[in-house]
Amino acid sequence: MTNGLDLALPAGRAWRDRVVDAALCCAAVLLGMVVVGVVKEQGDLPGWAVEADPLLGLVACAALWWRRRHPLVVALIGLPAVALATSALPAGAVIVANAALRLRRRQALTMLGAYALFMAPSGLLLSGTAGDLWFDAAFSLAYLLAPFACGHALRSRRLLVARLRADAARARAEHERRLADARRAERQAIAREMHDVLAHRLSLLSVHAGALAYRTRQAEAGAGPALDGAEVAESAEVIRGNAHEAVEELQEVLRLLHAEDGGEPVSLLPRIEDIDGLVADARATGQPVDFRTELAADTVRALRSQLHRTVYRVAQEGLTNARKHAPGAPVGLTLAGGPGDGLTVEVRNALPAAPGARDAIPGTGTGLTGLAERVRLDGGTLDHTAADGTFTLRARLPWPAR
């Protein structure tokens, strides 16, 4: 007989089930012996009931061992035992509670009605008088309803726990999906930006090569001055440098772009120098920003374009987070580092006095995930901490000595 309660139990529960079942069987046998002993002392049972009582009680107690796998069969076995044997009353209470716990609602109510129907005339049958009929009926009703209510309450609790576990698992899966989408979107955004950079660099390469070819043809035709070696070397160096950068950008595009995105093309070429404008825009909205940089302008220009964009995005995300979660709080933005020492971007802001305030701007919760993916792809690390009333977002990026 199948179990009507489909609940996912934790791993390693089987041995505990066996211990509980064995304890219930032993307790039912002991309590049944006590009950039948008390009844025998009173001498209220007829002779045939005295002889059959221990056997029926033993059958009901033994059936408890299979109550988990076959709750309906156990309920049917316990029906005549509970109705005719006083020694089966302790086991019968467990059987009724088990029926309410593991059978479907219609089956459980049907078995409850069958037990009530069988137990109602049993008092009259066993005692042979009608004087205590109302007492027996009241006792039978209380005896059946109390275990049934306990079993039903336990069933409701287990169903609730199973539902909460399923909801938690679904929420975790949804969170992981959103994080994966954020990482993928960040990769594709980086690839689209680099695609624009690559197109820009190739156009410069084409212009320089075309100009060199045009000057050469004009000189050969006598329509212009001849090119000297310095001009040719300078043009060749420009072409070589742009070609080298284009190859690097193309390799990064091929590495990052895994799938086409149907969104609008993004053409953003931010550089570290553009952070001044970013800070100015933040201050224009009323956000107090203290911007400090220790980077030398001549060394910054030598950084890779991808590193420029990553530094800009870290600063942008830090200011955006501060504006969302701590509106009006002072923000400190610091750029530090140098060739061989790495580059550090740090954004600090005071934590809001009341987290979750209604004036806070809502977010998706994936901004830092995408930013961490961007920093990781550029060979750096991103961490964020909240301590001593201050939230700190810090990115460390490689800066080769050369």
The tokens for 282 are: 């933040």
The tokens for 147 are: 């275990």
Residue 225: HSE in the Cβ half-sphere, 13 Å Cα cutoff: 4
The tokens for 133 are: 């009929």
DSSP designation for 327: T
Handedness of CA 148, 154, 160, 166 (dihedral sign): negative
Q: What is the dihedral of CA 355, 360, 362, 363, to 10 degrees?
A: -70
d(CA 30, CA 36): 10
What is the CATH number that goes with domain 272-397?
3.30.565.10
Contact 312, 271 (CB under 8 A): yes
SS3 224: coil
Smallest CA-to-CA distance from 290 within 267, 309, 315 is with 315
Rg of the Cα atoms in the chain = 40
DSSP designation for 32: H
Kindly give, in sequence order, each residue whose CB lies less than 8 Å from that of residue 397, ignoring residues fewer than 6 positions away. Answer: 307, 310, 311, 337, 342, 343, 344, 345, 375, 378, 379, 380
Contact 92, 78 (CB under 8 A): yes
Give the pLDDT confidence score for residue 262 in this predicted structure: 44
d(CA 389, CA 351): 5
Contact 279, 291 (CB under 8 A): yes
Give the pLDDT confidence score for residue 205 in this predicted structure: 67
Residue 153: HSE in the Cβ half-sphere, 13 Å Cα cutoff: 6
d(CA 92, CA 77): 10
pTM: 0.43
Smallest CA-to-CA distance from 272 within 308, 298, 318 is with 308
Give the pLDDT confidence score for residue 353 in this predicted structure: 65
Residue 390: count other Cβ atoms within 10 Å of its Cβ: 14
Per-residue pLDDT tens digits of the chain, which is 402 residues long? 444 444 444 444 577 777 877 887 888 778 777 776 666 665 555 555 566 777 777 888 888 888 888 888 888 888 888 877 777 788 888 888 888 988 888 888 898 888 888 776 665 555 545 556 666 667 777 888 889 999 889 998 988 998 999 899 888 888 888 888 787 777 767 666 666 566 556 655 666 677 777 777 777 777 767 667 677 677 777 777 667 666 666 666 666 554 444 443 333 457 888 898 888 888 877 789 999 998 888 788 778 878 888 898 899 888 888 887 888 789 999 999 888 888 999 999 988 765 544 344 334 445 678 788 888 888 899 998 988 889 999 999 998 876
Q: What is the dihedral of CA 196, 199, 201, 204, to 10 degrees?
A: -130
SS3 344: strand
d(CA 252, CA 191): 8
Residue 9: HSE in the Cβ half-sphere, 13 Å Cα cutoff: 10
d(CA 254, CA 258): 8
